Each structure stands twice: as C-alpha cells, then as structure tokens.
Amino acid sequence: MPLAALPPAITIRSAGTLRAVMEWVPAGAALLLSAPGAAGFLGPGAWRALVALAPGYPDALCCGDAAGDALAALRAGCRVLVLEDACPAFAAVAGAAAEVGAVLLPARPAALELDVIDLRRPAGRSRLADWLAGQHDTAPPLR
C-alpha cells in the first residue's frame, strides 16, 4: 500500500477522537494515524485494541525514530507503520516489514487534527469534508 494509495489521515489521540471519526467518516475513507511516536508511549498492543473498535478503517502506528518499537509493532500485527527514514535501522525494519507484507512509511503523512475541530458546527463538518475530499494543502491543519 504505497503512500499515494492511503486515504487522508486523521490523527487519533483518544477513544473520543476515534468515536468522532466513526460517527462522521465512512469506513475506509480515512487513515487512522496514531499520535507521533505512539508506539513508544502507547504501545502496539493498545493501538491494535483501539483500532479494533473501528473495523474497516485502515490504520498506521507512528514509531518516531525507534526501530525497536517498529519491530514490536510488526510482531503485534500492525501492517502500516511510520518510521522516520533518518533512523539508522530503517532499511532493516523495511526488510522485516516486507517479509510480513507490511508497509513502512518514511515520514508521517499530513493528518487532520480532529480534536481541535468542533464537528457540531457546520464549519467544522465542512473542514472535515474538505480534508477527506483532498481539498487541503499539506501544511498542518488548524490548531
């Protein structure tokens, strides 16, 4: 699954954000992207448990520059990972990912920070719809 084939990403920082995505975004229309470095502080098991609540949505776990966290995520069943390409072990982790059919992204894709958007308001829903339709730039969304 190359980066171009991934749907627009939404950063998932909590179960509340995940519930909002499931309420407002059809399954498959968004990539559930963990917070930066979440593999290290949340762990791949907790991430897998969280995204299991949202069947039909692709997901990616961010490992920052920690190759060990990426390898642990592969063992836990994560199949789309982000590992900074400056990581000295990037090539080795990429090889391990390829062996299990996983995708290793060299950088976080641009992602919508849904936690700062009020989806109760038309402007918030419009912002989300624009993001999903690809009508956005790659700069970080409003904070």
Per-residue pLDDT reduced to its tens digit, 73-126: 999 999 999 999 999 999 999 999 999 999 999 999 999 999 999 999 999 999
Give the mean pLDDT of the chain: 93
Look at residues 86, 99, 82, 102 and name the one whose alpha carbon lies nearest to residue 36: 82
* Fold for the domain defined by 3-132: TIM Barrel (3.20.20)
- Its pTM stands at 0.91
Model confidence at 44, pLDDT cuts 50, 70, 90, reads very high
Look up tokens 């498959």; give the residue: 28
> In the prediction, which pLDDT does 56 show?
97
- Helix (H) or strand (E) holding 125, with range, is helix 122-132
> In the prediction, which pLDDT does 4 show?
60
Query: How far is Cα 85 from Cα 131, in angstroms, rounded to an integer?
Result: 26
Give domain limits for the chain.
Answer: 3-132
Q: What percent of the chain has pLDDT over 70?
A: 92
